[in-house]
Amino acid sequence: MDARAIIASLRRGEQPSETELSWFAQGVASGEVSDAQAGAFAMAVCLQGLDQTGRRALTLAMRDSGDVLHWDLPGPVMDKHSTGGVGDCVSLLLAPALAECGVYVPMISGRGLGHTGGTLDKMEAIPGLSTQISEQRLHKITAEVGCAIVGATGRIAPADKRLYAIRDVTATVESLDLITASILSKKLAASPEALVMDVKIGSGAFMKTLEEARALARSLVETANAAGCKTTALITDMNQPIASALGNGLEVAEVMQALTAGEPCPLIEITAALSGVLLVQAGLAKDEGEGSRLIREALLSGRVASRFGRMVAAQGGPADFASHWTRYLPVAPVIHEVTAPRAGYVAAMDGEALGLAVVHLGGGRMVEGDQVDPAVGLSDLVRLGQWVEAGETLACVHAARESAALEAEAALLEALSLAETAPAELPLIHERIG
């Protein structure tokens, strides 16, 4: 086959065959397709688009460009994916909660992207814990603990790894077809029986409008189901962080507080809703309401904290993390309280600006290869609709230097809006698709 012919047909608006897309993905993975050809392909897809058949074919071709995992476990294997937000540490609760209810969760996750935090970066805030493990070790941990949160090896969807880097420098990241194939090629390589997609909407998400979120959710659901994986999407709110903290170590602390306090909070409610969908698919709940209740009960009972601790230990972290987590999480040398300049209701938050403030503190990457400081970030963040008096705490900045803390304070004050009237209450879950 000829890469040039495939690109030319795409440019004319013609749909490549499944055979052509499979060949092209293999060529991207092997290097037979050049960077220039991969970039031209991405641009042609971005401009002309793929139909549903082509989207499914590209997804499966990228999945099959590397290893596809296979499982022999005494229960269902399932997974979840989030499109990214701020203060989003749901995966750290969801994986052990599902495992506690009888579902196996080998979760292949990613690092921070832009203003959003990465699940792997959060996990690696725990001393000694490794997210880069072999497929053999992943199978062993999943079988023994019920869950693991790890990064993809170089053998998982290598076509996506190379194409993503090329998309990043060719202004083709926003293509719905390429986003869908990128997300699902990695997730389907883990061979889950069912998926739940957490599509974020709002100021802290990549998708700012309901229309954008619906389009992505439908694309993911339709493509995954066409590929043979039962998939549902929930469109969830990201107009404020889910947790009251942003930053890797600080979000792990929020997770542990949620798992040990025994009190409802937005983090638990969203985890229960997403997990409930999968319990129905697993045949472990008669409907999503019952599934959510079972997950909520497990989370509030403290049982999931113990399961999370077992996962941490199995991945190289402290054996007593679940009971002594405050000993192990990093602490920033500067903790700076930010106070309200006047009284008012917290009327709006610029979630993207908050996420970027954490990145500039060192809690994310400005360029690929940057080292991440797990101790920095924001904690004790106010919630939308909360009334604050002048001088009352809006958040605490955790920084490596006083100058960085002051810069983050200015960004935080710019990102928060105070008003004399309370804003309309937003739902945690906007829509269900699939």
Catalytic residue numbers read 79-82, 119, 167, 182, 186-187
Hey, what are 344's tokens? Answer: 């008012």
Cα–Cα distance, 94 to 267 (Å, whole number): 10
- Evaluate whether 181 touches 59 at the Cβ level (below 8 Å): yes
> Residue 343: which residues within 8 A CB-CB, separation 6 or more?
387, 388, 389, 390, 418
Q: Report the 3 state secondary structure along the chain.
A: CCHHHHHHHHHCCCCCCHHHHHHHHHHHHHCCCCHHHHHHHHHHHHHHCCCHHHHHHHHHHHHCCCCCCCCCCCCCEEEEEECCCCCCCHHHHHHHHHHHCCCEEEEEECCCECCECCHHHHHCCCCCCCCCCCHHHHHHHHHHHCEEEEECCCCCCHHHHHHHHHHHCCCCCCCHHHHHHHHHHHHHHCCCCEEEEEEEECCCCCCCCHHHHHHHHHHHHHHHHHCCCEEEEEEEECCCCCCCCECHHHHHHHHHHHHHHCCCCHHHHHHHHHHHHHHHHCCCCCCHHHHHHHHHHHHHHCHHHHHHHHHHHHCCCCCCHHHHHHHHCCCCCEEEEEECCCCEEEEEECHHHHHHHHHHHHHCCCCCCCCCCCCCEEECCCCCCCEECCCCEEEEEEECCHHHHHHHHHHHHHHEEEECCCCCCCCCEEEEEC
> Cα 352 vs. chain centroid, distance in angstroms?
15
